[in-house]
Structure 1
Amino acid sequence: MALLSPPAAQDTRGVPAPETDHERWLTSVGLWLWPSVVTLVVATYRIGEPLLGRDELTSWDMSGRSIGQVLATVQHVDGVLSTYYLILHGWRVLFGDSAASLRMPSALAMAGAAACVALIGHRLFSRRAGVAGGLLFALVPAVSRFAHEARPYGLVMLAVALTALLLLRALDRPGSSWRWAGYALGLVTVGLFHLLALTCLTGHLVLMALRGRRERRAWRSFWLAVLAALVALSPVVVLGRAQTVRQIWWIAKPTAWSLVDIWPQLFYTGPCAGTMILLAMVACRERRDAVLFCAVSAVAPVLLIWARSHGEISFFYFRYMLFTLPAFAVLAGAGLAAAARSRLMLTAAFAAFALLTASEQESMREQLGHYWSGGPDFAAAAQTIQKYYAPGDAVAYPRREEEAISLGVRYYLPRDLELRDVFLAESPTRRNDLAATECPQPARCLRGEKRIWLVVRGNETDPLNALTPYQSAALRAHYTVSGVERPSGLAVALLVRTS
């Protein structure tokens, strides 16, 4: 069936000389290489400039633990992210823990996803559609934003796009056990990076219904691959179910309006979302079977997750559905290729799309670009402490902030500048967890330090008010606030001992 292979070549009679094998190879490579390169260039532009966000700091913390400690921690929390943490641990050993280094796996994954978008678009529609889809994918603000995120979203998008491509290849040769094994491995990879992304199977079922409805061998191989993947993923599923309440309790149950509001969030800007959806609708005039496969792959997972989120726990958060963007890009590429009949029109369309998304592309690369409305400037807080540091200084944090402030300040302080955390009883690493244990009797945890730095969130007039009553009382009994600096979102106070 034509759905599974590139459209037939046009009549070349009258062409003086056919392409050589070398020219055909260059054409084939260019199909995926240009979208991949453009995505990588856009994704790595100023990749290290935004401060690490809260979740990224968790990735930094986890990747710095030993393999044994990572495996012990994921038994209690973040079990669904264990594969990502182990990969980042190995990456960090080789390339260090700078912001650019921690984010580079995501950028590389986005480049790989763009290549898959181009290849899928070529198979389902045309070469022009494939290249257009890959380049549109490169310019979507959400792609750049999460290429700059030390979290697994980019790897999920690559895994989902690659698995769709592997299914198309398996259906080219339904009798090839190796190709079905590759597809099964792709599904396992999807689940290891994000279990919710397995809702991509809705699109795969549609593809099977279109292609394999009369081929029992293909259906049998498909279900065996799916079953094998689910069995392999069962330990992660068990861990995820046990840890769900702790990890995503904060996600609100979606309303009917959420199904409208989700699209600007997915693309990271309303105009981009509107443009991509409009181009996808233009593609509906193209090959109906291919359009149906891509449309279901793009929309059905969102609907399923929305429906599932009306139970005890909600999963409806835009980051968890970013894996649908490659399918949207394939459709939008087909629509653009159909609407723009010349290279000049295509070039103008890409320029207009880049201009449309330029402001978002710029804002997400600012220092606090990883926060929705300002954010804690951990780098400035660390610079304040480093500037006025004296040997023997200690530090105190409001532990109810779930380690975010502690991790942020520690990351941006020089590695050889160590401050004893006065109210820390047991660190998250020692507990094999993400949260620390606080000293139960704060007054007894003080060791007569001459100076203690206090870092709290917000703009409290008196930073000591951000602590628990017992912690605040213990410090007030022996210390006075010598000075306060207020970087964005934080207050950094120096407490000096008086008695």
Structure 2
Amino acid sequence: MVVIAPLPLPREEIQSAEATENRRRRTGLWLWPFVLTFGLTSYGLTDSLLGRDELVTWDMVNRNTGQILATLQNVDAVHGTYYLLMHLWVGLFGDSVFSLRFPTALAVAGSASVVGLIGDRLFGYRAGILAGILFAVVPAVSRYGQEARSYALVIFAVSLATLLLLRALETPRGPRRWAAYSLTLAVVGFLHLIALSVVLAHVCVLAAHARQNRSLWWKSGLALLATAGCAAPVALLGRSQAQRQLYWVPEPDSWAFLSMMRDVFASALCAGALIALALVARSPRKAPLFLCGTWALVPPVLVWLTSHGEVSYFRHVYVLFTLPAWALLAGAGLAAASRSRKATAALLATLAVLTLPDQKQMRQPFEHDAPVPLDYAAAADVIKQGHHAGDAVVYDRENAWKLDSGVQYYLPRDLKLRDVFLAKAPTAINDLYAVQCSVAVLCLKGEQRIWLLTQGTDFPFNAITPGQANALQSQYRVSMSRSVTGMTVSLLVRREKS
């Protein structure tokens, strides 16, 4: 029997098949981390109530553009770009919990894709896709991918800037790539100034490449100079506001650095696992390991060092943008330590199972206000059920930051209550803080019923200022008092004249 061998494929068909396979692998490199991260982050996206910082976002984005810009002159300039972007988003899609948080879910999913692409360039295809998957299962990615604040967008912008730097180094003669890198780095500064510390890692890589190509000194210098020029106004304005905004952040001690690393991952177990994998990362070139190591470690160290001056910046949320670097190193470490697909899959599955309790914790109803939970929704429901036309309200502004905004968010928009002791609303004075009546008794207008909302479960009049308490007690009695998580809702009824 004669066996006839199949004719070899023409060179064009072989090249076409190889190109198709390359495109499929390239697509999988960014698509699977995106899908996994978006799926995990979207699960339970609206389970937690809005936290205090998210309520600041809600307050700011519902002001008009002129009011936002005027407020940024007084406070929170470092978050101004995020507020303006979210103002446009809310104008199109509303201010529901889902709408406020959806952009951050997209941002962390996009970050996972970029991590995969960076990992492919630095450590190879397998390490890249593993890095994207490891990034997805970090509990902090879900936690801050479900929060209406700028930190998820900062992670994405830092990752994208790093990818664009690597692309520019591949084709250093391309001015468009340098311009894209510089512009993205400027966006990083607009979103959060501390994240610009990633430039230290970028400079190390640029210096290494400039040894072979001296033109990189002036090309990268121009790109970084342009970024500095763009970010300088925000930096100066933010510096002038730092004391007012961060007066409450304590100066860190030596052990605080270790607790920060745990909080960055939102899981001590996950932090330990990724750091252990990062320690076994391997690469035939030193530059990839040096880039990721500098990116992961230098910003937290820099924040710790600078927090021993007039202002402390020591908050773990400010260095969340280092998570992609840890994922990249861990992906390289996992690729080096486990060559078998089954063993790699088993390790990933084990890590996912072990971090399930932390993932569950991230989706608890009051996680965004931890460790002092306040059930704004339940308090609003009590008012909604017992509301009468003409009712007024008093909020505990002495002990509970944004308690008033939290309750107002969960009240029906058409339910209007006069804020008895509010002299000037934050929007009226382009600020985040309200001004209350200096003489409380003069602000009472004879309402028959006043709702009093206070933090804690103590006697409600103990939670407000003595002047406010005396004014209310002289004319009103407590008709009803109900406790919800972290709060007390009391109904005051006007005393009958004897």
Decide: shared fold, TM above 0.5.
Answer: yes
Q: Counterpart of 2:486?
A: 489
- If the length of structure 1 is used for normalisation, what is the TM-score? 0.95
Q: Counterpart of 1:33?
A: 31
Whether the aligned pair in 2 keeps the contact of 1:378 and 1:408 (CA below 8 Å) is: yes
Is residue 2:247 matched to residue 1:244?
no
Whether the aligned pair in 1 keeps the contact of 2:123 and 2:283 (CA below 8 Å) is: no
Is residue 2:104 matched to residue 1:106?
yes
Correspondent of 1:150 among 145, 148, 162? 148
Q: Deviations over 1:368-419 (max 9, x none)?
A: 1223335011001000111111111110012324751100000000111111
Whether the aligned pair in 2 keeps the contact of 1:283 and 1:331 (CA below 8 Å) is: yes
Q: Deviations over 1:181-203 (max 9, x none)?
A: 11110110110110000100111
CA distance in 2 between partners of 1:306 and 1:441 (Å): 43
Larger CA deviation: 337-346 vs 120-129 = 337-346
Larger CA deviation: 432-441 vs 370-379 = 370-379
Shift of 1:209: 2.2
Q: Counterpart of 2:385?
A: 387
Q: Counterpart of 1:294?
A: 292
Shift of 1:473: 0.7
Shift of 1:420: 0.5
Number of aligned residue pairs: 483
Q: How does 1:295-374 map to 2 (within 5 A)?
A: 295-373=293-371
CA distance in 2 between partners of 1:23 and 1:401 (Å): 61
Shift of 1:444: 1.3
CA distance in 1 between partners of 2:191 and 2:217 (Å): 26
CA distance in 2 between partners of 1:108 and 1:285 (Å): 31
Correspondent of 1:139 among 137, 140, 149? 137
Q: Deviations over 1:46-93 (max 9, x none)?
A: 101100000000000101111111001111000111100011111111
Once the two structures are aligned, what percentage of the paired residues are identical? 48
Q: Deviations over 1:248-281 (max 9, x none)?
A: 1111111111222221111011110000000000
Q: Counterpart of 2:6?
A: none
CA distance in 2 between partners of 1:229 and 1:290 (Å): 24
Shift of 1:464: 1.0
Shift of 1:331: 0.5
CA distance in 2 between partners of 1:291 and 1:477 (Å): 69
Q: Counterpart of 1:4?
A: none
Shift of 1:293: 1.1
CA distance in 1 between partners of 2:31 and 2:246 (Å): 38
Whether the aligned pair in 1 keeps the contact of 2:278 and 2:330 (CA below 8 Å) is: yes
Shift of 1:363: 1.4
Q: Deviations over 1:223-254 (max 9, x none)?
A: 11111111111110111011000111111111
CA distance in 2 between partners of 1:212 and 1:332 (Å): 28
Q: Counterpart of 1:205?
A: 203
Query: Which ranges of structure 1 fall in alignment gaps of 5 or more residues?
Result: 1-15
CA distance in 1 between partners of 2:184 and 2:25 (Å): 27
CA distance in 1 between partners of 2:271 and 2:423 (Å): 48
Whether the aligned pair in 2 keeps the contact of 1:175 and 1:218 (CA below 8 Å) is: no
Whether the aligned pair in 2 keeps the contact of 1:453 and 1:495 (CA below 8 Å) is: yes
Is residue 2:197 matched to residue 1:216?
no
Q: Counterpart of 1:479?
A: 476
Whether the aligned pair in 2 keeps the contact of 1:184 and 1:229 (CA below 8 Å) is: yes
Look up the equivalent residue of 1:395 and give its one-letter code.
V
SS at match of 1:491: strand
Look up the equivalent residue of 1:196 and give its one-letter code.
I
Q: Counterpart of 1:5?
A: none
Shift of 1:493: 0.3
Whether the aligned pair in 1 keeps the contact of 2:52 and 2:368 (CA below 8 Å) is: no
CA distance in 2 between partners of 1:286 and 1:114 (Å): 24
Whether the aligned pair in 2 keeps the contact of 1:374 and 1:488 (CA below 8 Å) is: no
Larger CA deviation: 369-378 vs 59-68 = 369-378
SS at match of 2:453: strand
Correspondent of 1:436 among 434, 455, 458? 434
Shift of 1:214: 3.1
Look up the equivalent residue of 1:205 and give its one-letter code.
V
Look up the equivalent residue of 1:449 and give its one-letter code.
E
Shift of 1:285: 6.1
Query: Which ranges of structure 2 fall in alignment gaps of 5 or more residues?
Result: 1-12
Whether the aligned pair in 2 keeps the contact of 1:381 and 1:487 (CA below 8 Å) is: yes
Superposition CA RMSD, Å: 1.3
Q: Deviations over 1:279-300 (max 9, x none)?
A: 0001046643211111011101
Whether the aligned pair in 2 keeps the contact of 1:403 and 1:436 (CA below 8 Å) is: no
Detail structure 1 runs of 4+ shifted over 6 Å in the superposition.
none
Whether the aligned pair in 2 keeps the contact of 1:453 and 1:493 (CA below 8 Å) is: yes
Look up the equivalent residue of 1:137 and give its one-letter code.
F
Shift in CA distance, 325/170, structure 1 to aligned 2, threshold 3 Å: same
SS at match of 2:212: coil
Q: Counterpart of 2:229?
A: 231
Whether the aligned pair in 2 keeps the contact of 1:133 and 1:334 (CA below 8 Å) is: yes
Is residue 2:451 matched to residue 1:453?
yes
SS at match of 2:363: coil
CA distance in 1 between partners of 2:401 and 2:357 (Å): 32
Shift of 1:327: 0.7
CA distance in 2 between partners of 1:309 and 1:368 (Å): 29
Whether the aligned pair in 2 keeps the contact of 1:402 and 1:435 (CA below 8 Å) is: no
Larger CA deviation: 223-232 vs 251-260 = 251-260
Whether the aligned pair in 2 keeps the contact of 1:110 and 1:143 (CA below 8 Å) is: yes
CA distance in 1 between partners of 2:284 and 2:258 (Å): 26
CA distance in 2 between partners of 1:139 and 1:336 (Å): 14
Whether the aligned pair in 2 keeps the contact of 1:145 and 1:364 (CA below 8 Å) is: yes
CA distance in 2 between partners of 1:58 and 1:211 (Å): 43
Look up the equivalent residue of 2:495 and give its one-letter code.
T
Look up the equivalent residue of 2:468 and give its one-letter code.
Q
